[in-house]
Amino acid sequence: MTTLKNDRFLRALLREPVDCTPVWMMRQAGRYLPEYRESRSQAGDFLSLCKNTDLACEVTLQPLRRYDLDAAILFSDILTVPDAMGLGLYFEAGEGPKFKKTIATEQDVAALPKLNAQSDLSYVMDAVRAIRSALSGQVPLIGFSGSPWTLATYMIEGGSSKDFRFTKQMLYRQPEVLHALLDHLADAVIDYLNAQIDAGAQAIQIFDSWGGALAHQQYQSFSLQYMQKIVAGLQKEKEGRRIPVILFTKGGGQWLVPMLASGADALGLDWTTPLDVARQMVQGRVALQGNLDPATLYGDRTTIETAVKHMLDDAYAAGEKTGYVANLGHGITQWVDPDQPKIFVDTVHQYSAKYLA
């Protein structure tokens, strides 16, 4: 077992003392980095990049060479699970992910195979093992999955959607069919994330990217309860350490209190909920992660530094000494100047130290 040289990310998630605020960025390995674009070109396309162990490891490590990040996150995609179920994932330039098959009926759900992540998604586990080895204890490795609700929207719509027409039609006309799909996906995600933990993931994030599209009651019935099932089914410890779980619902800041029942160790926030308000809502029962607007990184040094300091002032307004991880409120965009994230990361470390002394 390799000793972690920097474990402040894991400590903050478990609300243990830290010397400064840990920071990482959602989508930190991505198109804003020229070295990533070169690796993707070498692979030929996005899916080939995900399935090439050496290149998936390389792009995971690229942002850590540029920035003083406190965690690495597995380079993969949330849609690997439905792809492994035979839906035929592909990517069209400028249009995002699409599926050759969609889910529309009770029969379609019943025909979905049971996922065996170790064999059906072995390329993901190969990447996890390679990354852990390459990190050599530098920082922890985050594994992840999409939430059942988020995965279901892609499977039903056949790709991205602005209004989730067919998914919501199923929700209100055939809720039992949607529940059957979500339950099937929850079982698959449990298997998938436990396989990542076995391969070496040291923390887990569940991306509920489209949970915010639901109405209040429907969020709890069709998204939150299935994430709760996943958290309950995950391996809790590995290599003598607890495996913290982060639940991130984009657009879900109003549901932080119901989310406390999920069993997650931390809740992620987008940029619409002030951190001081979020801290009051959760009352120290979970850690929080977030929540700088990714577009802030289009600004100059002064703009970024000011925004980061305001975020940290909110995070520590009530005098808490830990239980907070700095991040963006969603993924970094492809148009960001690669020099700007360094300002964000360094300001978090330098400015937060005064609150944690």
pLDDT in tens, 214-250: 999 999 999 999 999 999 999 999 999 999 999 999 9
Options 37, 40, 129, 242, the catalytic residue:
40
Segment 320-345 shows an average pLDDT of 97
Residue 232, annotated as binding a ligand = no
**Whether pLDDT at 21 is above 70:** yes
Residue 330, annotated as binding a ligand = yes
- Residue 241: active-site member: no
Residues 148-161: pLDDT tens digits? 999 999 999 999 99
In angstroms, the CA 41 to CA 311 distance is 36
What is the pLDDT at residue 95? Answer: 73
Options 77, 198, 293, 346, the catalytic residue:
77
- Residue 301: active-site member: no
- Residue 15: active-site member: no
- Residue 40: active-site member: yes
To 5 degrees, how large is the angle CA 162–CA 163–CA 169? 145
**Whether pLDDT at 2 is above 80:** no
Residues 253-283: pLDDT tens digits? 999 999 999 999 999 999 999 999 999 999 9
What is the pLDDT at residue 145? Answer: 98
Segment 64-80 shows an average pLDDT of 97
What is the DSSP track for 40-86? HHHHSSHHHHHH-HHHHHHHHHHHHHHS--S-EE----TTHHHIIII
Segment 82-109 shows an average pLDDT of 92
What is the pLDDT at residue 341? Answer: 98
Q: Left, alpha or beta for 324 (phi > 0: left; psi -120 to 50: alpha)? A: beta
Residue 154, annotated as binding a ligand = yes
Options 31, 37, 66, 129, the catalytic residue:
31
Q: pLDDT-based confidence at 339, cuts 50/70/90?
A: very high
Options 154, 316, 324, 355, the catalytic residue:
154
13 and 287 in contact (C-beta within 8 Å)?
Answer: yes
One-letter amino acid at 268 equals G
- Residue 27: active-site member: yes
What is the pLDDT at residue 191? Answer: 98
Residue 30, annotated as binding a ligand = yes
**Phi/psi of residue 186, each to 5°?**
-60, -45
Residues 118-170: pLDDT tens digits? 999 999 999 999 999 999 999 999 999 999 999 999 999 999 999 999 999 99
User: What's the chain's average pLDDT?
Assistant: 97
Length of the chain: 357
DSSP, res 223: I
Residue 71, annotated as binding a ligand = no
In angstroms, the CA 343 to CA 67 distance is 9
Q: Which two tokens stand for residue 137?
A: 């204890």
Burial status of residue 194 (CB atoms within 10 A of its CB: 0-12, 13-18, 19 or more): buried
- Strand order from edge to edge, sheet including 141-146: 72-73, 141-146, 203-208, 245-249, 266-268, 287-292, 324-328
DSSP alpha helix (H) spans, the chain: 8-13, 34-43, 46-51, 53-66, 80-82, 106-110, 117-120, 122-135, 148-157, 165-173, 175-199, 216-219, 225-233, 256-259, 275-282, 301-315, 340-356
What is the pLDDT at residue 251? Answer: 97
What domains are there in the chain, each with its CATH number? Answer: 28-290 (3.20.20.210)
**Whether pLDDT at 1 is above 80:** no
In angstroms, the CA 14 to CA 327 distance is 16
